[in-house]
Structure formats: C-alpha cells, structure tokens
Chains A and B, each alone.
Chain A
C-alpha cells in the first residue's frame, strides 16, 4: 500500500491547506461556501464567528461541533427514543429532519447522511424502526470515525441484513447479496472484483443471521472451509474477510472518491493522482475518516474559487440549507414528507445504491417538485426564521427590493446572480403590493431558480 502512495505529499498537492495570503480572502462568501459543503449552511452568527476564526480554526469548529454538542446529542437520543414508541420509520424520518435542522454538530449529521446513502437501508423494507434507529446511531457514532470498524458493524447490522434479504444465510445456499454489495457499493467499487470473488466471499458470511431483531452467528450454518478471494486462500474465520476486502488497494481510492463527490465537486471524476494523497492519508490514519475530511475541508481544492458552485444541491441541502442559513425551523413532519416527495426520503433511499446525487437530482419534474416544496416550507404556519415568521423576518429588507434580493443572495446562493435574473427578482418584489408577501415570494422565486440548485 505504501508503494501505491509513493511520492504523495499533502503540502505539495491541491490538498494543501488554504492560505488566505496566497489563495484569496477569507471572507463571508468563502465561509458560507464551506458551511454549505460541510454543514448545510449556517446562520449569520456562525458565519461571523468563522470569518473571525480563520480557515484552520473554522474547520476545527466544524469537526468538533458547538460547545453543547454532547449535551444536545443526549437530548436528541432521548427524543428519538420517544419517537420510537410509535415504531414508524416515517416518524423516525421526521426526527432526523429535526436533527438536521437543529443539530449543533452539522458536519456529523452531514457525514451520518453520507453513510446512510453509502450503506443504504430503507424503511419500506425494514419496518422495524428500532433497527433503523440503531443503524442510524452507528453511522452517527462513526460519522468521522473508523471506516473499518464501521464496515464490520454494518456487516452484522440487522437492518442491513434484513434489507439485503440476508436474515438467514445457510452454507448450503450462500446468500450473495451482502458479499456483492460489500465489494461493489461499500468498499471497492465496480471492476475491482470478479464474480468468483463474490461467490467465495458469500461463503464467509454463511451462518450470519438475524433473529428477533438481533444479529446471531449460527456456527452450524457457517461454511468454515477454505475460500479463495482476490488472491488469498484462507478459511477467513470470524470477520477476517471484511478486513481482506478493505485491505485491497482500490478500497481507499473508492472511499476518498466518494468523499470527494460529497464535499468538493460532483464532476468531473477526480483523477487517481488527485485522490492519491487522500487515499494515503486514510490508510496512514488506519482508516479514520476525520483526518481526511479535515484535510479536504481546509484545502485549497475545496476552499478555492474553482470549487464554489460545483455541486448540485440535494433536496436536504436545499431545504435544510435554507433553514440553517436563515436560522430557521419548520414542521419536521411536513418537511420529511416533502423530502420524500423530492426523492430524498430520510430512511427511504431508492435502492441499495443510495442516492446517485449530482446531476441526477435535477430534471424538469424534480425542479417543479423542489419549487412546490420550498413554497410549502416558506408558507408553512410553523416555519420561523430567527424565531419569527418568514414575513416578519424578511420585513427588515422588504421596503427595498434591491436590498432584499442582495441580502438573500448573499446568504443563500453559491454563485452570483446574473444581472438580468437579479433585475427580474427585484421587479418581482416591486410588483407585489403587500409587504408581508413580498419577501416570501422573492425568496421562493430565488430558491426555485437554477442557480439556487448549486452549492
């Protein structure tokens, strides 16, 4: 592995830390960009705090979360426990939406959501909300933690095994689902294994079952014989097969490649050379995710001008981002339903591949759904920005439509509005007589436009 990364060094790569003296001003625009990528956006107060802190300290702040993050997590788990009494995955979806909006540690939630899409498991099939919650808590525990430990836990996670039809797995008829997804979707990516590897690896997971919602190893149904997997012949006792898959050279590139698409840019596909320093860092850090994420967030590659507006916002980024940027809150139950309608139901990924992301978020149908959902969010009776109604919050700018558009643009858009679009929004604001409607209509129009779909 070391040979693979030979010659890679962070200081001399695009992953070198962003330096305001050389790479550009550390200002509100750049902080809002960082927050959009790492934290679904942030309030004016947080933006000011991070501008003052500087890039390294700002990333530190995102990695550790707010001071009360630990206390709030305990309260959040208590809320989840209460919600679980209904045993309804959709209710759990509303709970997670609430967490995304209010969490004092948004990067952790960003990464929890990432792992949820990576190790996708859906409530349409796993109807036991408790199992889904336990899996979600695992993702949160390991959000910035140890990928190897996380993968081992997922391999024995009841929700995952139920989702992949692996509730029973007998040596006479090994179930290949988990083995295939482990290599294709979770660790290696397509093209890095053979069909024979899948069949052999599947034998390693025989006897791994789910009983009464718990993982159980049935030693009588486990195939303890030798298997040949990707050049190694062994009995692969316990969970050594998982380690062997993770130890393959393509594994770190696959994982940092996905992190690149999460945090830096949807496209083009990053080159192997670009990813090599990060892959090396991941291996050097014994598969701990946090150092790699820290490197990416603090890098010229992410904080430089060229990365701004290079991603398409997911529905969660769009709606939660709007709320977090305006210090907002709304009915999580209603928003969770709307996220499902926009194709990103929490706990309801479309399939085991999770969400494809990028350009696939955008089509004429999804744009319409996004506009309608944002309209409902802004007009919902429970929606508040900075503790007051949207109309009242926006009234600070509604007397002057030019200022209204400018203030919203600064807070919500990654890229500058073209002059013609800007003029149209200003004219729209001027054309509305009722001040209490003006702000909401302009906000919805701005967020429904194509530029607002970029992060």
Chain B
C-alpha cells in the first residue's frame, strides 16, 4: 500500500468558492491538522528528526521551542511602541486583521485554550522543514511537548473539519489509512502521520513512506549519519534556528557558468570576489540564528580548504591566506564603517584573469586616464601599490554648523583610510596630485558656473591636511535658503605617520587622522587561526540623523513620486525615521581560518529605557 496514496476527490476548492465564509475554518483546520497523529508506542524516539529523513535530504531547517520565540515577540519591550504606531492601529482596524482575529477567537473557544498554548502543545519542542532531492518532497515536522494534548487536539480538529464539510455538503475531507497499524491521513495534497511525539506533513508519498519505515524499523543511512550533516552539526552554535544545505548536490542543479570564472563587475569582485571561489567548492553550509530581546544574530559557516582559494584572488584572501582587516577606528557619528583586506594594486594588475574582456578594456582606459591624472605615475604599481593591502571605508553624518555653507541636501561625509608603505615618498606626491585635482575642478567648475574651491593647508595630529573648501556664495547670488549639493564637500587628504586619509570633508579628515583603533569582535567558531577578512557595521542612530536632516527632501520625494499629500508624506517619513530609531546597529563579519569560513551578522535593537 502506498503511503497515504488515497486519491481523495477534493471537491473543497469549488465548494469553498461558493461558500467563502467557511474558508478560514478550512484553512485553520488544514494548518492545525498537522497535529494529526496516531498512537504507536513501539517505536523509539530519535535524538534528532534527521534520523528519520533520508540521506538525500539537501535542505534541513530546525526551529527550537517556537513557542518561546512567540513569547519573546509578544512580550518584547518594543511591542507597546509598535502597537502605538498609527500604521499598526490602522492595519488592526481593517477587515483582514479583524477576520483573522475573529477566526482565532473562534478556534480558541472551540479548543478551550489560547492559541499560544495551542502552539506550545502542537509544536512546543521543535519545528523541522526538510527537502529531499530524490523524491522532490518537502517534509514539515512538529514535535509536541505533550502528546496527549496533541491527540485531543487532533480529534477535535478532525471533528471540526468534518463538521464543516458536512455543513457545506462536501464529502469527508479527511482520508484515513494505515501502514503496519500506524494510522496516517491525507487532507488534500498533504500526507500526515504521527511518529511518536512528532507530527509530520509531506507532499510526497515516497518521502512519507520512507519516514514511516524509518520510524518503525530504523534507518541504516539517514541524514543524521551523512558525513556533511554530521560535520555541520558539530559546529552548530547557540540559537533557536539551525539550517543545513548540501551545496554539493544543489550545485549540479545550477546551469553551466552560473558561477562565472570572470566577472564584468569590478565592484562585486572587490566586495565578494572570494565568495566566488567558495561557491565553486564548498560541499555544504550551515547557519545558526539566535533571536534575543536585544537583537538577532546569524552565523553562516562553511568548511574551507586551501586549495579552494584561487591564486588570482590572492589579492582578496591575502598572501598565505592571512589577509586581515585592520582594527576599527573610533569615529563619532559614523553611519557605516567597513574594514577590509584587499590588495587593490594586485587586483588591478590581475584584471586580465578576473574580468571579462569588455571590463578589461574599460579598466585599461581608466588606467591610462588615472596615470595621466597622477602625473605620469603608474596607477596600479606606483599609486595603489604605495598602500598596504588593507584599509577602512567610513561614512559619517556631518554636522552643518555654519548656515552660510549649509546645503539643501545634506549628504554624509565619507573617507578612505590606508597605511602608506613609504610615507616620505608618497606624501609629497599625493599632496601635489590633490592640488592639481582641485585646480582642475575649479577650472571645470568656473566653465559651468559652479562655486569655487579654496585650498587650505593645516597641521593636524602631528601630520598635515591639505584641503579645499567651497567659498560661501554672495548673499544675493541665490534666492534659495540653502545651497547646492557641492557644499557637502570640502575634499581633503591628510597624512600622519604612515596613515593616509582621503576624505570628502575636512572635519572627517581631521577626526580620522587622530582616530584610535578599537577592538574588533573576535573571529568566532573556535578556529584560533581565523582572521577577519572583512568587517562592517551600520549604525542606525546616525542613519536616522541623516534622514532627519533631509526630512523635507524625503517628504517632497514621497509627494511627487508616490502621489502623497503633504500630511501623508510627513506621516510616512516620520514613521520611517522613528522606526530607524528602534534599531541600534548592524554588524557583519567575514572570517576564515585553516578549515572554516564564516559570515556572521547581528542586528541589535535599541530597547526603550525606563523613562522612554
């Protein structure tokens, strides 16, 4: 007998269309019929649901204690604030929300328990979702904390579903069968079975059948015993959610050249070039996620072997594969900070191996232009090669203290910080290039009626800053209160020791010349050889400030692009700015060691304090 192979004629679709008012009941009953079980005591509970899944399972996601997650959300300190939002109040007053609320209330009344308790009963321990590539089946498993309650619930739900069908003149929607005395069900396309305190739903007979037999007889080879899965499980980190993907088997589904040898996007290559190497070789990845009151953390890990790092991307991984990002610098009002190891000089010279022909031609043209701009110096060797292969990119909110030079659109300042290999040789050269560039900009600006830059030079932090500032306009030059976008910039290049700062504004250049390093987060995963290749952070308080600085621009954009009234646009933008204030920061890190590579991310929330 095929597992749940009853071909029940499902006439509910047509009937539900005719009687939409019962649709929600059928939907809820269908969802909660995942608790459909039968009582068989003879089988042993496995340590992991993976013991019942075939070793051809390529995707596995496990959520622990989902009811705790729900409790965390329901009792979260930000919840009262969210519920106080006008947009949320509005959504809660609309029909779709009210319908769901009414449906839940009715179900709770029928079952005699709140939905949170229901969730604890049905899936109190775990929820597992798996995909088997051999049968192309998806299986969803729910582990109950209390099998007796789940049994009662199952009976009640079957009773409800049947009563609903009977009231609507439809045939019994629940079909029953047995496999070696194990009762199984079919509702629509879903096959359901109770295996111990687990309830499983699948869309494929073959997958369901194999799981029932594994439950009854055990399984010689299962997902749990698969080497990749077992290895991934060993590196599992704390958190409610864990996922595994067998990349080796999934990769063969990709079309040829899905992971190209050479790209046409230098920016993507610079940012994630090393991942192209990984994508070609890694056999599996795993991910752990932890949700806590103050934020969400995710760690994605893969095995790593030296052979997988291509020679052409030595610029990315570093010599001897030890390229490390520098320690983060302390910067006030930073919006984004990225620290990286990239030997850009080497990447430029290896362009022929990394990029498609058209991109190589464009880079050749750029090389020629830049060499001219840099007074005949070889751009790749002499300019890029003069810096160590690691650096910082910093974006920070500006303070516009002088109304005479405050632009209408307020952009953040940004800067690059590098370490010079030969400061004595490089400083005069960069200073001269900067002065030439400002002269060129002034001539070009004068021809196009743009404001002029005034060169400045100042001592700072034991070094020197060469900068340029736009002169304030004559008072009657423009009618507008503010100034053009150019007034966001006061370009500068600064030197102190071997540190070189190339900045969009003088203030950030001054700050970065004396900025002190702070400790980066440790590379995790227990691999002591691991180095942080790239680290990044986004700080939402400063981002909120930038949006606040440009509120009138954002409101105007919303009015013109989205057809909003001024009141509507103001409300939307205010809400956006308020929401950003609830997030503290986002941190991202890519690290790699001798046997493991890892991307970790954390989104931190800004919890209300006692007086907020």
Minimum Cβ distance to chain A for residue B597 (Å): 41
Q: For A332, give its contact among B479, B555, B560 (CB under 8 Å).
A: B560
Residue-wise, chain B 551-586 has the 8 Å CB interface mask toward A (1 for contact) of 011011001111111100000000000000000000
> With A212-B449, A212-B477 in contact, do A85 and B409 touch (Cβ < 8 Å)?
yes
Tell me if B407 is interfacial: C-beta within 8 Å of chain A: yes
Q: For A87, give its contact among B484, B552, B553, B555 (CB under 8 Å).
A: B484
The residues of B that contact A79 with a CB separation of less than 8 Å are 556, 559, 566
The answer to whether B562 touches A331 (Cβ under 8 A) is yes
Once the chains are docked, how many angstroms separate the CA of A383 from the CA of B478?
A: 36
Tell me if B171 is interfacial: C-beta within 8 Å of chain A: no
With CB as the reference atom, state the residue of chain B lying closest to A332.
Answer: B560
Q: For B482, give its contact among A75, A85, A333 (CB under 8 Å).
A: A85
The residues of B that contact A78 with a CB separation of less than 8 Å are 552
Q: For B449, give its contact among A98, A213, A334 (CB under 8 Å).
A: A213
Once the chains are docked, how many angstroms separate the CA of A429 from the CA of B477?
A: 59
Residue-wise, chain B 522-562 has the 8 Å CB interface mask toward A (1 for contact) of 00000000000000000000000000000011011001111
Residue-wise, chain B 450-493 has the 8 Å CB interface mask toward A (1 for contact) of 00000000000000000000000000011111101100000000
Q: For A84, give its contact among B480, B560, B561, B562 (CB under 8 Å).
A: B480
The answer to whether A81 touches B481 (Cβ under 8 A) is yes
The answer to whether B482 touches A331 (Cβ under 8 A) is no
Residue-wise, chain A 410-426 has the 8 Å CB interface mask toward B (1 for contact) of 00000000000000000
Once the chains are docked, how many angstroms separate the CA of A202 from the CA of B88?
A: 66
Please, could you name 17 A-B residue pairs with CB atoms under 8 Å apart, sorted by A?
Answer: A79-B556, A79-B566, A81-B480, A82-B555, A83-B556, A85-B408, A85-B480, A85-B482, A85-B553, A91-B560, A98-B560, A130-B478, A134-B479, A329-B564, A331-B560, A382-B563, A382-B564
Between A and B, how many residue pairs show CB distances below 8 Å? 67
Minimum Cβ distance to chain A for residue B265 (Å): 28
Minimum Cβ distance to chain B for residue A171 (Å): 25
The answer to whether A94 touches B563 (Cβ under 8 A) is no
Minimum Cβ distance to chain A for residue B476 (Å): 8
The residues of A that contact B477 with a CB separation of less than 8 Å are 212
Q: For B409, give its contact among A86, A329, A334 (CB under 8 Å).
A: A86
Residues of B within 8 A of A (CB-CB), count = 24
The residues of B that contact A331 with a CB separation of less than 8 Å are 560-563
Once the chains are docked, how many angstroms separate the CA of A102 from the CA of B480?
A: 24
The residues of A that contact B449 with a CB separation of less than 8 Å are 128, 212-213
- A window 89-125: CB within 8 A of B: 91, 94-95, 97-98, 102
Minimum Cβ distance to chain B for residue A177 (Å): 21
With CB as the reference atom, state the residue of chain A lying closest to B554.
Answer: A82
Tell me if A36 is interfacial: C-beta within 8 Å of chain B: no
Listed from nearest, the 7 A-B pairs whose CB atoms lie closest are A85-B408, A382-B563, A82-B556, A329-B563, A94-B560, A332-B560, A382-B562
Once the chains are docked, how many angstroms separate the CA of A329 from the CA of B565?
A: 9
Tell me if A453 is interfacial: C-beta within 8 Å of chain B: no
Among A86, A95, A130, A213, chain B packs the most CB atoms within 10 A around the CB of A86
- A window 233-248: CB within 8 A of B: none
The answer to whether B479 touches A130 (Cβ under 8 A) is yes
The answer to whether A130 touches B560 (Cβ under 8 A) is no
The residues of B that contact A382 with a CB separation of less than 8 Å are 561-564
Tell me if A384 is interfacial: C-beta within 8 Å of chain B: yes
Tell me if A330 is interfacial: C-beta within 8 Å of chain B: yes
Once the chains are docked, how many angstroms separate the CA of A203 from the CA of B258?
A: 70
The answer to whether B560 touches A95 (Cβ under 8 A) is yes
> With A130-B480, A212-B449 in contact, do A83 and B563 touch (Cβ < 8 Å)?
no
Minimum Cβ distance to chain A for residue B561 (Å): 5
Once the chains are docked, how many angstroms separate the CA of A329 from the CA of B564?
A: 8
The answer to whether B407 touches A85 (Cβ under 8 A) is yes
The residues of B that contact A83 with a CB separation of less than 8 Å are 556, 560
The answer to whether B484 touches A85 (Cβ under 8 A) is yes
Among B408, B478, B553, chain A packs the most CB atoms within 10 A around the CB of B408
Minimum Cβ distance to chain A for residue B407 (Å): 7
Q: A94-B561, A330-B563, A331-B560 are in contact. List 14 more A-B contacts (CB 8 A).
A: A81-B408, A82-B553, A83-B560, A85-B484, A95-B556, A130-B479, A130-B480, A213-B449, A329-B564, A329-B565, A332-B563, A333-B560, A333-B561, A382-B564
The residues of B that contact A333 with a CB separation of less than 8 Å are 560-561
Once the chains are docked, how many angstroms separate the CA of A97 from the CA of B559?
A: 11
- A window 41-89: CB within 8 A of B: 75, 78-79, 81-87
With CB as the reference atom, state the residue of chain A lying closest to B481.
Answer: A81
Q: For A85, give its contact among B485, B563, B566 (CB under 8 Å).
A: B485
With CB as the reference atom, state the residue of chain B lying closest to A83.
Answer: B556
With CB as the reference atom, state the residue of chain A lying closest to B561.
Answer: A333
- A window 332-365: CB within 8 A of B: 332-334
The answer to whether A98 touches B481 (Cβ under 8 A) is no
Once the chains are docked, how many angstroms separate the CA of A85 from the CA of B407?
A: 8
The answer to whether A82 touches B478 (Cβ under 8 A) is no
Among A83, A85, A87, A213, chain B packs the most CB atoms within 10 A around the CB of A85
Minimum Cβ distance to chain A for residue B486 (Å): 10
Once the chains are docked, how many angstroms separate the CA of A324 from the CA of B559?
A: 17
Minimum Cβ distance to chain B for residue A97 (Å): 8
The residues of B that contact A75 with a CB separation of less than 8 Å are 566
Once the chains are docked, how many angstroms separate the CA of A79 from the CA of B556?
A: 6
Minimum Cβ distance to chain B for residue A89 (Å): 14
The residues of A that contact B564 with a CB separation of less than 8 Å are 329, 382
The residues of B that contact A334 with a CB separation of less than 8 Å are 561
The residues of B that contact A384 with a CB separation of less than 8 Å are 563
The residues of A that contact B480 with a CB separation of less than 8 Å are 81, 84-85, 130
The residues of B that contact A383 with a CB separation of less than 8 Å are 563
> With A130-B478, A212-B477, A213-B449 in contact, do A82 and B408 touch (Cβ < 8 Å)?
yes
The residues of A that contact B553 with a CB separation of less than 8 Å are 82, 85
Once the chains are docked, how many angstroms separate the CA of A333 from the CA of B563?
A: 9
The residues of A that contact B561 with a CB separation of less than 8 Å are 94, 331-334, 382
Minimum Cβ distance to chain B for residue A235 (Å): 30
The residues of A that contact B552 with a CB separation of less than 8 Å are 78, 82
With CB as the reference atom, state the residue of chain B lying closest to A86.
Answer: B409
Residue-wise, chain A 366-407 has the 8 Å CB interface mask toward B (1 for contact) of 000000000000000011100000000000000000000000
Minimum Cβ distance to chain B for residue A12 (Å): 48
Once the chains are docked, how many angstroms separate the CA of A199 from the CA of B463?
A: 65
Once the chains are docked, how many angstroms separate the CA of A82 from the CA of B569?
A: 14
The residues of A that contact B555 with a CB separation of less than 8 Å are 82
Minimum Cβ distance to chain B for residue A225 (Å): 33
Once the chains are docked, how many angstroms separate the CA of A157 from the CA of B484?
A: 22
The residues of A that contact B481 with a CB separation of less than 8 Å are 81
Minimum Cβ distance to chain B for residue A202 (Å): 26
The residues of B that contact A97 with a CB separation of less than 8 Å are 560
- B window 479-518: CB within 8 A of A: 479-482, 484-485
Residue-wise, chain A 121-150 has the 8 Å CB interface mask toward B (1 for contact) of 000000010100010000000000000000
With CB as the reference atom, state the residue of chain A lying closest to B476.
Answer: A214
Minimum Cβ distance to chain A for residue B551 (Å): 10
With CB as the reference atom, state the residue of chain B lying closest to A82.
Answer: B556
Minimum Cβ distance to chain A for residue B550 (Å): 9
With CB as the reference atom, state the residue of chain A lying closest to B483.
Answer: A85
The residues of A that contact B562 with a CB separation of less than 8 Å are 331, 382
The residues of B that contact A87 with a CB separation of less than 8 Å are 484-485
The residues of A that contact B409 with a CB separation of less than 8 Å are 85-86
The residues of A that contact B559 with a CB separation of less than 8 Å are 79, 98, 332
The residues of B that contact A329 with a CB separation of less than 8 Å are 563-565
Residue-wise, chain B 408-428 has the 8 Å CB interface mask toward A (1 for contact) of 110000000000000000000
Once the chains are docked, how many angstroms separate the CA of A86 from the CA of B484?
A: 8
The residues of B that contact A330 with a CB separation of less than 8 Å are 563
Minimum Cβ distance to chain A for residue B481 (Å): 7
The residues of A that contact B484 with a CB separation of less than 8 Å are 85, 87
Minimum Cβ distance to chain B for residue A287 (Å): 27
Minimum Cβ distance to chain B for residue A327 (Å): 12
With CB as the reference atom, state the residue of chain A lying closest to B410.
Answer: A85
Once the chains are docked, how many angstroms separate the CA of A213 from the CA of B476?
A: 11
The residues of B that contact A85 with a CB separation of less than 8 Å are 407-409, 480, 482, 484-485, 553
